[in-house]
C-alpha cells in the first residue's frame, strides 16, 4: 500500500503529472470573481466563504479523471486488481494520493486567496479547518465517480455530472462553517456534520468504488 | 498435483458465449500454449482465469494468490525509470529482489532509463520481467512476444523454462513458436460456443438473458 | 409460486401484458377524475383559486420521491439477485421520475409566484427537489453512456445506492442551510394541521391516479426495454452465425 501511495505521489510531481494545476485554477477562479461581482469590499467579504468553497470544489473536480483513467489505459489497473492488495485498499490509497496532491495544497493556500476576497479575519482558522475536514470527502467521492466512468471514452464530462450532486452536503456544511466564522456565530454544528459526512464517506465509499472498478475491468 | 484445474468452463465476451465446455489441467512444470483464430476467446479465457471477469458457468480451481497475469498492456508508467517500475510491482507483490528479473530480460543496462524512453520491444521486456517479481507460480500470458525480436524471444523462452523448472506453470496465448517443445498445445476451436445447442437454461427463458 | 417467478422476462411480459390495460384504464379514470374534481372545489379563503394546483403538485412530488425509492429497491434486487427485469425496471423508472420531479418543480414555481411573489425561492423543499432532479439526470446519463447492458446495470445500480444516501443527506443539509417559505406537509397526521376534507378526498384520488400512471408508464417502458434487449441479442446472434 505504501508503495502504491509513493508511486502515485511520485507520478504526480514528475513532469506531466499535473501537480499544481488545480492550485493555479483555484487562484484564477478567485481572481475572476471580483471581475464578475465588483471589487466592493463588503460584498466580496460576504460572498468569500462560498466562493472559496465552490472554488476548492471545482479545482478538486478538475483532476479527478486522472485517478484511474491513466492506470486503466496502460493496463496497471488490471495488474493491480490481480495483485495481493485488496482493490478497496487500492482505491482508498489512490484517493489519498489525490487528496495529498490536490486537496492539501488547496487547504494550505486557501487563506492567501481569502485575503484577495476580503475574508473577515475571524474566519481564517475555520476556513482551513473546514477545508481540511471536507476535501478528503471530495477526493473519495471523486474516486467513486472516476471508478464508475473509467471505461468510458468521454467520461470527463459525465464524471462532473455524477459527482457534483454528491458534493452538495459537503459544500453546504463546509461553506456554512466559514460563513458562521465570518459573522462570529458558533460553527460547532455544521463542523460536526461536515466531519461526520467525511468520516462516513471514507469508511463506506471505497467499497462502492472498488465494486465499480471490478465491473469496469470485466 | 495440478496448480490450476478447469472443468466445464464457459466464458462470454460482450454478452455472447465464446468458449463452452472447456476442461484442462495445468500442473507444476507444465506449459500450455493456447491456439485458436482471432476471436476464439483466448484473451477472454485468460482474463477469466485471472479473476478479472466472471465465468458464465463451470469450475476453476486454483490456489488463492497463485496467478500472475500479463495482458496486452504492460502496466508501465512512462514517467518512472525501469528500476522504479519494477520495484513498485515487487513491493506490491511482497518484495522479491528485482536484480534477477532485470538480468533475465537483459535490462540491467537500461535500469536508470525512464520508461517513456524505451522502445516498444524494451517496454515489452520490462513488462515480462515484472512476472518474475510477482513470485507467483502460474503465469497467464496474453501474446507475450508482441514486438519482441528473435533474440528477445529466446531470452523469454529461457526465462519461461527456468520458471517451469522451479515448479511454475504457464498458460500462453501466442501464434509464434516459442522454442518450447515440451509445451502442450490446447486448440480452442473444438470448444467454440455454438448458439442454439444450449440445454442449461430454464425452459422458456428469454434468449436475450443468458 | 414466488414473486421471483416474474424475474423471468417471458413470464413478466405475459403477466404484465394482462394487467397493463386495467392499470392504464385506472390511471386515466383516477387522474382525470381527481383533477376535474379538484378543479371544482371551492376557493381557499387565503390562497384563492391558486390552491387548486395542489392536485397536480403534490401527487407529482410524491411520485418523484417514490420513483427514486423504487429505483433503489430495483437496483438492490439487481445487485443482489441479478434479475434482469429488475435492472430494466429501474432504468425504465428514471425518466418517469425525472419528469415527475420537473412537474413538481414547475408547478411549485407557478404556485409560488402569486403566493410568495417570486418564481423561484431557495426554499429547502424546492432546493432538494432540484438536487433530486440532478441525481435523476446523472443516473439517466450514465445509462446512456455505457454500451454493455450488464455493466450499465451494475454501475447505475451502484450510483443509485450511493446517490440515495447523498440525496437524503442533501435533503437535511438543505433544511439546515435555509429555513424556507414552503408550507408544511400537505397531508400531515398531526391534528389541527390537516387540510379540510373538501380538498383532501380529490387529492387522494389524484394521488392514486398518479401512482397508477407511474406504474403503467414503468410497465410499458420495462416491456419495451426487454424487447429491445431481446432484439439486440437476436441481431448479435444473426451477425455471428
How many domains is chain A built from?
1
> What integer pLDDT is reported at residue C181 of this predicted model?
54
Contact B209, B56 (CB under 8 A): no
- Greater confidence (C106 vs C42) lies with C106
Residue B196 has pLDDT above 70, yes or no: no
Instruction: Quickly state the pLDDT bin for A15 (edges 50, 70, 90).
Output: low
In 3D space, the residue among B128, B160, B123, B126 whose CA is nearest the CA of residue B144 turns out to be B128
Residue B197 has pLDDT above 60, yes or no: no
How many domains is chain B built from?
1
In a domain, C8, yes or no: no
* CA-only gyration radius of chain A, Å: 18
What is the pLDDT averaged over residues C76-97? 92
Residue C57 has pLDDT above 70, yes or no: yes
- Greater confidence (B177 vs B43) lies with B43
Q: Is C189 on the interface with B (CB under 8 A)?
A: no
In a domain, B208, yes or no: no
Contact B38, B48 (CB under 8 A): no
Q: How far is residue C84's CA from residue A178's CA, in Å, rounded to a whole number?
A: 47
- Greater confidence (B53 vs C183) lies with B53
> What integer pLDDT is reported at residue C241 of this predicted model?
60
Q: Which of A16, A74, A81 sits opposite B52 (nearest CB)?
A: A81
Contact B121, B148 (CB under 8 A): yes
Q: Is A185 on the interface with C (CB under 8 A)?
A: no
User: Containing domain of residue B122, as a range?
Assistant: 29-54+63-185
B64-81 pLDDT, tens digit each:
788 888 888 888 888 888
Contact C91, C183 (CB under 8 A): no
Q: How far is residue C156's CA from residue C150's CA, in Å, rounded to a whole number?
A: 10
Which DSSP category does A28 fall into?
H
Q: How far is residue B23's CA from residue C129's CA, in Å, rounded to a whole number?
A: 55
A54-100 pLDDT, tens digit each:
999 999 888 888 888 888 888 888 888 888 888 999 999 999 999 99
Residue C232 has pLDDT above 70, yes or no: yes
Cell of B126: 520490462
In a domain, C3, yes or no: no
Nearest chain A residue (CA) to C137: A161
Helix or strand (DSSP H, E) at C102: helix C84-116
Residue B207 has pLDDT above 80, yes or no: no
C92-143 pLDDT, tens digit each:
999 999 999 999 999 988 888 887 778 887 878 888 899 999 999 999 999 9
Residues A165, C154: C-beta atoms closer than 8 Å? no
Give backbone dihedrals phi and psi of B178, rounded to 5 degrees, phi first.
-85, -5
In a domain, B146, yes or no: yes
> What integer pLDDT is reported at residue B202 of this predicted model?
42
Find chains touching chain B: ≥3 CB pairs under 8 Å. Answer: A, C
Residues A218, B68: C-beta atoms closer than 8 Å? no
> What integer pLDDT is reported at residue C142 of this predicted model?
93
Provide the H-helix boundaries in chain A: 2-13, 21-37, 41-62, 66-73, 76-81, 87-98, 104-116, 124-148, 155-166, 168-183, 188-217
> What integer pLDDT is reported at residue A4 of this predicted model?
83
Contact A182, A48 (CB under 8 A): yes
What is the pLDDT averaged over residues A106-130? 90
C150-159 pLDDT, tens digit each:
889 999 999 9
In a domain, C7, yes or no: no
In a domain, B118, yes or no: yes
> What integer pLDDT is reported at residue C185 of this predicted model?
59
How many domains is chain C built from?
1
User: Containing domain of residue A136, as a range?
Assistant: 2-217
Q: Classify each residue of C30-64 as buried b or exposed e, where b means 16 or more C-beta atoms within 10 Å of its C-beta.
A: bbeebbeebeebeebeeeeebbbbbbbbbbbbbbb
What is the rounded average pLDDT for all residues in chain B?
81
Taking the mean position of all CA atoms in its chain, how far away is CA B20?
Answer: 20
User: Containing domain of residue C54, as a range?
Assistant: 15-240
In 3D space, the residue among A209, A199, A8 whose CA is nearest the CA of residue A97 turns out to be A8
Of the candidate ranges A174-178, B176-180, C64-68, the one whose mean pLDDT is the lowest: B176-180
Nearest chain C residue (CA) to B194: C241
> What integer pLDDT is reported at residue C194 of this predicted model?
55
Q: Is C233 on the interface with B (CB under 8 A)?
A: yes
The 3-state DSSP class for residue B178 equals coil
Contact B132, B159 (CB under 8 A): yes
**pTM (two decimals):** 0.89
In a domain, B21, yes or no: no
Residue B80 burial (CB count, 10 A):
19
Q: How far is residue A50's CA from residue A191's CA, in Å, rounded to a whole number?
A: 15
Contact B20, B26 (CB under 8 A): no
In a domain, C2, yes or no: no
In a domain, C5, yes or no: no
Amino acid at each position: 500500500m505504501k508503495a502504491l501511495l509513493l508511486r502515485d505521489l511520485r507520478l504526480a510531481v514528475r513532469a506531466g503529472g499535473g501537480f499544481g494545476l488545480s492550485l493555479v485554477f483555484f487562484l484564477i477562479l478567485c481572481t475572476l470573481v471580483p471581475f464578475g461581482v465588483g471589487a466592493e469590499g463588503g460584498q466580496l467579504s460576504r460572498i468569500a466563504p462560498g466562493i472559496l468553497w465552490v472554488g476548492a470544489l471545482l479545482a478538486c473536480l478538475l483532476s479527478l479523471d486522472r485517478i484511474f483513467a491513466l492506470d486503466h489505459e496502460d493496463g496497471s489497473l488490471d495488474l493491480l486488481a490481480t495483485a495481493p492488495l485488496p482493490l478497496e485498499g487500492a482505491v482508498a490509497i489512490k484517493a489519498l494520493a489525490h487528496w495529498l496532491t490536490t486537496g492539501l495544497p488547496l487547504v494550505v493556500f486557501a487563506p492567501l486567496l481569502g485575503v484577495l476576497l476580503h475574508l473577515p479575519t475571524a474566519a481564517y482558522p475555520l476556513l482551513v479547518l473546514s477545508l481540511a475536514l471536507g476535501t478528503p470527502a471530495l477526493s473519495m467521492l471523486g474516486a467513486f465517480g472516476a471508478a464508475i466512468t473509467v471505461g468510458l471514452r468521454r467520461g470527463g464530462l459525465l464524471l462532473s455530472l455524477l459527482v457534483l450532486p454528491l458534493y452538495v452536503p459537503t459544500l453546504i456544511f463546509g461553506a456554512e462553517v466559514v460563513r458562521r466564522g465570518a459573522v462570529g456565530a458558533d460553527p460547532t454544528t455544521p463542523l460536526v456534520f461536515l466531519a461526520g459526512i467525511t468520516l462516513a464517506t471514507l469508511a463506506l465509499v471505497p467499497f462502492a468504488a472498488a465494486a465499480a472498478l471490478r465491473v469496469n475491468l470485466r | 498435483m495440478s496448480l490450476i484445474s478447469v472443468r466445464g468452463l464457459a466464458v462470454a465476451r460482450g454478452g455472447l458465449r465464446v468458449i463452452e465446455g472447456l476442461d484442462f489441467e495445468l500442473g507444476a512444470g507444465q506449459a500450455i500454449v493456447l491456439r485458436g483464430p482471432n476471436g476464439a476467446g483466448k484473451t477472454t479465457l485468460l482474463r477469466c482465469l485471472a479473476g478479472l471477469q466472471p465465468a458464465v458457468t463451470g469450475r476453476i480451481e486454483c490456489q488463492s494468490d497463485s496467478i500472475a497475469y500479463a495482458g496486452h498492456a504492460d502496466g508501465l508508467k512512462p514517467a518512472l525509470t525501469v528500476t522504479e517500475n519494477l520495484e513498485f510491482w515487487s513491493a506490491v507483490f511482497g518484495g522479491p529482489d528485482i536484480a534477477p528479473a532485470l538480468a533475465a530480460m537483459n535490462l540491467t543496462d537500461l535500469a536508470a532509463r525512464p520508461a517513456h524512453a524505451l522502445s516498444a520491444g524494451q517496454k515489452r521486456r520490462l513488462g515480462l520481467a515484472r512476472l518474475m517479481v510477482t513470485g507467483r507460480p502460474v503465469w497467464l500470458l496474453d501474446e507475450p512476444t508482441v514486438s519482441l525480436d528473435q533474440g528477445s524471444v529466446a531470452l523469454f523462452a529461457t526465462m519461461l523454462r527456468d520458471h517451469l523448472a522451479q515448479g511454475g506453470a504457464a498458460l500462453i496465448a501466442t501464434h509464434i513458436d516459442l522454442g518450447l517443445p515440451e509445451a502442450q498445445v490446447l486448440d480452442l476451436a473444438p470448444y467454440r460456443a455454438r448458439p442454439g445447442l444450449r440445454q442449461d437454461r430454464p425452459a422458456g427463458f428469454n434468449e436475450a438473458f443468458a | 409460486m414466488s414473486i421471483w417467478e416474474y424475474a423471468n422476462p417471458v413470464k413478466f411480459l405475459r403477466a404484465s401484458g394482462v394487467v397493463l390495460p386495467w392499470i392504464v384504464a385506472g390511471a386515466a379514470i383516477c387522474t382525470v377524475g381527481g383533477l376535474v374534481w379538484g378543479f371544482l372545489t371551492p376557493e381557499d379563503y387565503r390562497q384563492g383559486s391558486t390552491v387548486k394546483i395542489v392536485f397536480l403538485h403534490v401527487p407529482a412530488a410524491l411520485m418523484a420521491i417514490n420513483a427514486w425509492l423504487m429505483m433503489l429497491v430495483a437496483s438492490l434486487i439487481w445487485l443482489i439477485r441479478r434479475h434482469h427485469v429488475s435492472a430494466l425496471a429501474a432504468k425504465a423508472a428514471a425518466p418517469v421520475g425525472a419528469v415527475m420531479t420537473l412537474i413538481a418543480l414547475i408547478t411549485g414555481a407557478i404556485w409560488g409566484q402569486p403566493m410568495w411573489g417570486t418564481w423561484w425561492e431557495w426554499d429547502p423543499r424546492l432546493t432538494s427537489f432540484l438536487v433530486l432532479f440532478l441525481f435523476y439526470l446523472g443516473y439517466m446519463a450514465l445509462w446512456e453512456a455505457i454500451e454493455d447492458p450488464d455493466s450499465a446495470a451494475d454501475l447505475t445500480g451502484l450510483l443509485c445506492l450511493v446517490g440515495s444516501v447523498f440525496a437524503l443527506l442533501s435533503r437535511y443539509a438543505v433544511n439546515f442551510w435555509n429555513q424556507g417559505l414552503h408550507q408544511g406537509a400537505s397531508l400531515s397526521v398531526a391534528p389541527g394541521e390537516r387540510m379540510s376534507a373538501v380538498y383532501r378526498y380529490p387529492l387522494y384520488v389524484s394521488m392514486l391516479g398518479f401512482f397508477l400512471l407511474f406504474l403503467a408508464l414503468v410497465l410499458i417502458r420495462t416491456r419495451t426495454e426487454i424487447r429491445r434487449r431481446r432484439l439486440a441479442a437476436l441481431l448479435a446472434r444473426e451477425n455471428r452465425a
